[in-house]
Amino acid sequence: MDILDRNRRLEELDRRYVWHPFTQMKEWEEAVPVIISEGRGSFLRDIYGRWYLDGVSSLWVNVHGHRKKEIDDAIRSQLERISHSTLLGLGSESSIELAEKLINIVPAGLTRVFYSDNGSTSVEVALKMAYQYWIHRGVKGREKFLCLNNAYHGDTLGAVSAGGIDIFHEAFRPLLFDTFRAPSPYCYRCELGLESPGCGLACLERLEEILKGHAPEIAAVIIEPMVQGAGGMVVFPPGYLKGVRDLTEKYGVLLIADEVAVGFGRTGRMFACEHEDVVPDFLCLSKGITGGYLPLAATITTEEVYSAFLGEYRELKTFFHGHSYSGNPLACAAAIASIGLFEREKTVEGVRKKENILLPWLEAVRGLEHVGDARGLGLMAGVELVRDSKNREPYSFEDKMGFKVCLRAREKGLLIRPLGNVVVIMPPLSISEEHLAGMLDIIRDSIVEATEG
Ligand SMILES: Cc1ncc(COP(=O)(O)O)c(C=O)c1O
C-alpha cells in the first residue's frame, strides 16, 4: 500500500471508528480530519508531512515541547524497569520521588499527595475528601459546595455538578447534585451589570452573602485560581482570589483550588495561587504535570485534612477511592523529569518574558472591529469576538465565528481551538519568542479575515 492509500485509509477508519470528544461527529464525518503523526518542539506534523504550530499545547498540556529529550529519556529508563504497578497496597519508586518533588514546589502547608489520572478525577477526589473530612470531624450537614458560574472542572458527574457552563452541563442537570452558585468574576460580561474596578469587587460580596447564610451547609468552595479557563479565559480582577481565600477562612469552609489548567507555570507563576499568596486546602493538578506526555493527576492536601481520615480500620475512615492507573510509574517518571526541566530551563521566568509579548498584543487586538475583549495571564489568553463591540453583542451560536477563525488559522499552519466566541491562545510554555510572535500574527490576520472579510 503506498503512503497516499495508507493516509486515505487512516482518514476513512477514523471517520468509521473513532468518536471524538466535544465534537459533532456528523460534521466531522463530512470533513477531512487532520491526523497527527509526529511532534517536535512547538510543532505537530500531520500524515501528509504538513507542520503546524501547536497553539493549544495539545489541549493545554504541553509544557517543554514535544519530543523533549529529558522526558523521553526518563520514560524510556522507567520503561526498562516497569511500566505500571498499582498504588493500592503497594508503593512505587517514581510515585514516591514525585510526591516529594511536588511537596517541595506547591504552596507551603500542602503536604499529602493523592494520585489519580486526569483533571476531572483530581477534582472528584477533592470534592469527596472535602465532603468526608467534615463527617470524620463529626460535623453534620456540610453536604454542599459553593461554585462559581462559568466554572469548568471536568466532565465526570461530580466535576460537572461543580461546573457552571450551561452549554456543556445543562443536558446532564437531572444527574447532578445541587450546589450554591456565586457570580463569575467575568468583568467584560459582569453578571451584576457593574464595571471593574469601580465595582469594589461586588461579586465577592455576593459570595460572602452565600457563605453568611449557608456556611454550616457548605463543605468547600471550589474555584479555578486566577483564570476561568474553559469558561472563556476569564482573568480574575486583582484581589478576587485572595478575597475568596479570606472569606473561606472567615466562615470556616474549605477551599479547593483547581489548578488543572493554570498550574505548572501557565500563568507566570508555578501555581496560580502564588499570585495572591493563597494556600488552599486542596490543590488539584493534572494536564502540565507530566510536561504534557502522559495522563496523571494529583490532589494535594493538608495534614489537617489527611489526619481526619486516620483511624482504626473498623471506623471506616479510609478514603475509599482509587483508579487502576493512579500514580502510573511512567507518568510519574515523566513528571519528575518535567519538574527538573522547570528548574534547569527557568521555564516560569521564560513565561513571564513571553507574557511581555502577549499582553501588548492583546491590548492591540482590542482595537479590531469585532474584538470585544482580549485578556490573558502568563501564556494563557483569550480573544472574545463580538458582532458589535459597542454594545458587546455576541455572535450567535450558529455563526460559529470562533470556529471560523480557527479554520483560517489552520490554513496558515496554526492549530488552535475556540471556546465559543473566544479564540484561545495556549502555546507550549517553551515556545520561542519568534514563534509566539508568528502565532499572534496568524491569529490577528485570521480574526480580521473571518470577521471582516
Ligand atoms: C480547570 C480544569 N479542571 C479540570 C479539567 C478536566 O481535566 P481532564 O480533561 O484531564 O479531565 C480541566 C480540563 O480542561 C480544566 O480546565
DSSP-based three-state secondary structure for 259: coil
Given this model, what pLDDT does residue 4 score? 87
Instruction: Return d(Cα 153, Cα 124) in angstroms, integer.
Output: 9
Instruction: Return d(Cα 224, Cα 242) in angstroms, integer.
Output: 13
Q: For residue 295, how far is its CA from the centre of ligand 1 (angstroms)?
A: 12
DSSP-based three-state secondary structure for 233: coil
Sheet holding 414-415, edge to edge: 36-40, 43-46, 51-54, 414-415
Q: For residue 119, how far is its CA from the centre of ligand 1 (angstroms)?
A: 5
Residues 323, 329, 330, 333: is their CA dihedral positive or negative?
Answer: positive
Q: Closest ligand 1 atom to the C-alpha of 230?
A: 16
Going through 112-217 in order, the beta strands assigned E by DSSP cover 112-116, 144-148, 180-182
Residue nearest to atom 10 of ligand 1 (CA): 119
Looking at residues 104-127, what average pLDDT do you find?
98
Helix (H) or strand (E) holding 439: helix 433-452
Report phi then psi at 181, rounded to 5: -125, 125
Q: Closest ligand 1 atom to the C-alpha of 118?
A: 10
Contact 333, 291 (CB under 8 A): no
CB atoms within 10 A of CB 303: 11
% of the chain with per-residue pLDDT over 70: 100
Given this model, what pLDDT does residue 1 score? 75
Q: In this model, does residue 227 exceed pLDDT 90?
A: yes
Q: Closest ligand 1 atom to the C-alpha of 120?
A: 11
Q: For residue 164, how far is its CA from the centre of ligand 1 (angstroms)?
A: 13
Looking at residues 110-119, what average pLDDT do you find?
98
pLDDT, the chain, mean: 97
Instruction: Return d(Cα 169, Cα 184) in angstroms, integer.
Output: 16
Contact 262, 380 (CB under 8 A): yes
Testing ligand 1's pocket by substitution, the residue of 287, 293, 299, 424 carrying the most ligand atoms inside 8 A of its CB is: 287
CB atoms within 10 A of CB 398: 6
pTM over 0.85: yes
Q: Closest ligand 1 atom to the C-alpha of 156?
A: 11
Contact 422, 385 (CB under 8 A): yes
Confidence of residue 166 (pLDDT cuts 50, 70, 90): confident
Looking at residues 96-112, what average pLDDT do you find?
98
Q: For residue 117, how far is its CA from the centre of ligand 1 (angstroms)?
A: 11
Nearest C-alpha neighbor of 384 from the set 204, 232, 183 = 232
Instruction: Return d(Cα 333, Cα 242) in angstroms, integer.
Output: 34
Confidence of residue 170 (pLDDT cuts 50, 70, 90): confident
CB atoms within 10 A of CB 240: 21
- Residue-wise pLDDT for 201-217, tens only, equals 999 999 999 999 999 99
Q: Closest ligand 1 atom to the C-alpha of 151?
A: 1
Instruction: Return d(Cα 266, Cα 354) in angstroms, integer.
Output: 11
Q: In this model, does residue 327 exceed pLDDT 90?
A: yes
Looking at residues 256-282, what average pLDDT do you find?
98
Residue nearest to atom 8 of ligand 1 (CA): 119
Q: For residue 230, how far is its CA from the centre of ligand 1 (angstroms)?
A: 8
Looking at residues 313-342, what average pLDDT do you find?
97
Looking at residues 184-213, what average pLDDT do you find?
96
Given this model, what pLDDT does residue 268 score? 98
Instruction: Return d(Cα 212, Cα 194) in angstroms, integer.
Output: 22
- Residue-wise pLDDT for 328-373, tens only, equals 999 999 999 999 999 999 999 999 999 999 999 999 999 999 999 9
| Structural domains of the chain in order of their starting residue, each with its CATH number | 34-67+347-452 (3.90.1150.10), 72-345 (3.40.640.10)
**CB proximity list for 104: less than 8 A, separation 6 or greater:** none
Confidence of residue 52 (pLDDT cuts 50, 70, 90): very high
Q: In this model, does residue 453 exceed pLDDT 90?
A: no
Looking at residues 29-57, what average pLDDT do you find?
97
Question: Quick check: CB of 229 below 6 Å from ligand 1?
Answer: yes
Nearest C-alpha neighbor of 220 from the set 301, 166, 294 = 301
Instruction: Return d(Cα 334, Cα 329) in angstroms, integer.
Output: 9
Looking at residues 230-236, what average pLDDT do you find?
98
Q: In this model, does residue 43 exceed pLDDT 80?
A: yes
Given this model, what pLDDT does residue 3 score? 87
- Residue-wise pLDDT for 410-435, tens only, equals 999 999 999 999 999 999 999 999 99
